[in-house]
Every structure is written in C-alpha cells, then in structure tokens.
C-alpha cells in the first residue's frame, strides 16, 4: 500500500541535487529532469508546488532556475511531503462501528461515544509518522547519501550540472524511463 505518490520520492531526490550543487548556482528544471531521467513537465509541476510552499525560490530568463529557499538544515522531509501531497489524512474512518446489526437503527450511546478505537490508533500512527518525517531534514538525507556514495560522487554530480550550464540553451534533452 503506497501512502504517498511517487512525486514525494522524486521531489526529495530533486531537492537533494539542489543541496549538493553549489549554493549560489541556480538549477533549471530541464537539467534536474534529465539527471533523474524523468519528464521536465513533471519536475516543473513538483517545483511549482514546492515554490508555492516556500521551499524553493525561482528566477526566470537566461541563467534562471531554482534554489532552495532555506538552508537544507531547515527543510524537513515533512515539509516536502506536505508541499507535494497536501495535508491529507492517511486513514478515513467510516464509522462502521455504528452499523452493527445488533444496534438496529439506533446505536447505543456507548458505541457512539468518542473516537472509534481503530481510528484513534490510526491517528496515533499517523502523528508518529509525521513526527518522524518532521525530525529529518534535507541535510540529514544528504549526509546519509554522502556516507553511502563514493567520495567523488558529489564532484561528479556538480561536474555534470556545470557541463549542462555551459551548453547553449535549447540543447537540453531528457531520456524517458522505460
């Protein structure tokens, strides 16, 4: 069961490339999309949502692009989830408890009182998940990747993006995932 769409995963990966690139260098959607192997239109939608949520800043025109709006230590995973998925709940209680055949058309007061026990547990789990996601930042994720990847990987990423910036506009392409 997927709780969040793949947009959360792609959004986080895209932001991590902004973390790893030079802080003052703007990155355009086409380059991030090409690097990830996904559609620029999809990345543009993600970036627009994250810009509206205050996670990114953008500038247009030649040399334009996106930057993180705040330091990576101040952007939590929950900030990204919330920006891309909204503040939807993960569980919707339909109050099945009120439909017990023993109650007929009128459930007793004790059955109607308070939250459904199942709903209460689901809310607790959701709150714990949000707290966990809110306790990790983009910087935390970037450090995990740094520990896992070869030491030269950040340099390779930056070199790739620099080579893209050096290209004349209009020569950006992307490969579709199959």
pLDDT tens for 103-148 read 778 887 877 777 778 888 988 999 999 999 999 999 999 999 889 9
Q: Dihedral (C-alpha) 68, 11, 35, 2: value to the nearest 10 degrees? A: 160
pLDDT at 22: 53
Beta bridge partners of 137: 76
pLDDT at 137: 97
Kindly list the distances between the CA atom of residue 104 and the CA atoms of 32, 36, 49, 108, 109, in Å, as whole numbers in the listed order.
59, 57, 48, 10, 13
pLDDT band at residue 1 under the 50/70/90 scheme = very low
pLDDT band at residue 177 under the 50/70/90 scheme = very low
Q: Which of 12, 18, 9 is nearest to 157 (CA)?
A: 18
Query: The pTM is what?
Result: 0.80
pLDDT tens for 29-40 read 999 999 989 999
Q: Which domains does the chain have, with CATH numbers?
A: 7-75+137-172 (1.10.10.10), 86-136 (no CATH)
User: In this predicted model, which residue has the larger pLDDT, 98 or 80?
Assistant: 80
Contact between residue 120 and residue 86 where contact means Cβ atoms under 8 Å apart? no
What is the spatial distance between Cα 97 and Cα 16, in angstroms, rounded to a whole number? 45
CB atoms within 10 A of CB 78: 17
User: Under DSSP, is residue 95 helix (H, G, I), strand (E, B) or coil?
Assistant: coil
User: In this predicted model, which residue has the larger pLDDT, 149 or 91?
Assistant: 149
């Amino acid at each position: 069961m997927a709780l969040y769409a793949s947009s959360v995963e792609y959004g986080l990966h895209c932001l991590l490339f902004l973390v790893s690139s030079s802080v003052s260098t703007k990155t355009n959607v086409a380059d991030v999309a090409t690097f990830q192997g996904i559609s620029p239109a999809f990345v543009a939608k993600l970036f627009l949502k994250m810009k509206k949520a205050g996670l990114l800043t953008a500038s247009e025109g030649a040399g334009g692009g996106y930057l993180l709006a705040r330091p990576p230590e101040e952007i939590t995973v929950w900030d990204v989830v919330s920006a891309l998925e909204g503040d939807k709940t993960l569980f919707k209680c339909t109050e099945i408890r009120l439909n017990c055949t023993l109650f007929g058309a009128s459930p007793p007061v004790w059955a109607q009182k308070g939250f459904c026990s199942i709903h209460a547990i689901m809310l607790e789990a959701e709150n714990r998940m949000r707290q966990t996601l809110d306790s990790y930042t983009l910087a935390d994720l970037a450090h995990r990747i740094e520990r896992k990847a070869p030491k030269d990987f950040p340099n390779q990423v930056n070199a790739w993006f620099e080579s893209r910036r050096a290209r004349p506009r209009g020569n950006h392409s992307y490969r579709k995932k199959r």
